[in-house]
Chains A and B, each alone.
Chain A
Amino acid sequence: DGGITQSPKYLFRKEGQNVTLSCEQNLNHDAMYWYRQDPGQGLRLIYYSQIVNDFQKGDIAEGYSVSREKKESFPLTVTSAQKNPTAFYLCASSVPGGSGELFFGEGSRLTVL
């Protein structure tokens, strides 16, 4: 079955540690996205990538980093510079030029202690 796989589903880390969230897709989509979701707020775009080896900052990129070395993979690193990293992180993909529909993974819940 095609889809987006995010791991881990739950992650606990101490303050000051970097963490990397994995996102893999087998939908053959060119575009991939990382969103952050906090209670009572809409999805906020962290980074997106339209093509391999290229990515752009979204609205809240500070304290985060990404790479896009393969079409299938778009990992997100939450660095120690991110002031409030506890959140639900969602990875998505889409077909550029289509309806704009996003296909989401099941999310990763990061809690910083």
Chain B
Amino acid sequence: QKEVEQDPGPLSVPEGAIVSLNCTYSNSAFQYFMWYRQYSRKGPELLMYTYSSGNKEDGRFTAQVDKSSKYISLFIRDSQPSDSATYLCAMSEDSNYQLIWGAGTKLIIKP
């Protein structure tokens, strides 16, 4: 079993829909949780960063961490075609530890 599980998709939704992307993990020591966005043939860029449990909101994006369920989510409101990309979750026990990555979910927003 992988340490971090993420459905690779693709996930296809109409423009304007609310998107929910998720990762599950097995290591209860993870405390740092990140979401990266990767456009085709580009490097990933950090989208959201959360420490420990709780929610974090940034514009149309909300990141949630549920440590009791070992489950993290990224919500995108009012989705746009420009949100079409692969979304990778990543997590670590400590900021000095190596990140453990999910496989990435390919998201397609249809105009």
What distance in Å separates the Cβ of B89 from its nearest Cβ neighbour in chain A? 9
A64 within 8 A of partner (CB): no
User: Cβ of B88 and Cβ of A42 under 8 Å apart?
Assistant: yes
Give the B interface residue count (CB, 8 A).
Answer: 27
Q: Beyond A106-B42, A107-B41, is A97–B101 a contact (Cβ under 8 Å)?
A: no
B-facing residues in A38-59 (Cβ within 8 Å): 40-45, 48, 58
Q: Is the interface of B mostly helix, strand, loop or mixed?
A: loop
What distance in Å separates the Cβ of B72 from its nearest Cβ neighbour in chain A? 14
Q: Is the interface of A mostly helix, strand, loop or mixed?
A: loop
Give the A interface residue count (CB, 8 A).
Answer: 24
Q: Give which listed residue, B8, B45, B95, B100, contacts A104 with CB less than 8 A.
A: B45
What are the interface flags for B17-55 relative to A under an 8 Å C-beta threshold, 1 for contact and 0 otherwise?
A: 000000000000000101000000111111001010000
In the bound complex, CA of A6 to CA of B42 (Å): 11
In the bound complex, CA of A104 to CA of B42 (Å): 9
User: Cβ of A42 and Cβ of B104 under 8 Å apart?
Assistant: yes
User: Cβ of A48 and Cβ of B34 under 8 Å apart?
Assistant: no
Q: Beyond A42-B88, A43-B88, A99-B49, is A107–B42 a contact (Cβ under 8 Å)?
A: yes
With both beta carbons as reference points, the residue of chain A lying nearest to B94 in the complex is identified as A100
User: Cβ of A97 and Cβ of B95 under 8 Å apart?
Assistant: yes
Chain B residues with CB under 8 Å of chain A are 4, 6, 8, 32, 34, 41-46, 49, 51, 88, 90, 92, 94-104
Q: Give 28 pairs: A residue, B residue, CB < 8 Å, sorted on A.
A: A4-B43, A6-B43, A40-B8, A42-B4, A42-B100, A42-B101, A42-B102, A43-B90, A43-B99, A44-B101, A45-B98, A90-B43, A99-B51, A99-B95, A100-B32, A100-B34, A100-B94, A100-B97, A101-B34, A101-B49, A104-B44, A104-B45, A106-B41, A106-B42, A106-B43, A107-B41, A107-B43, A109-B41
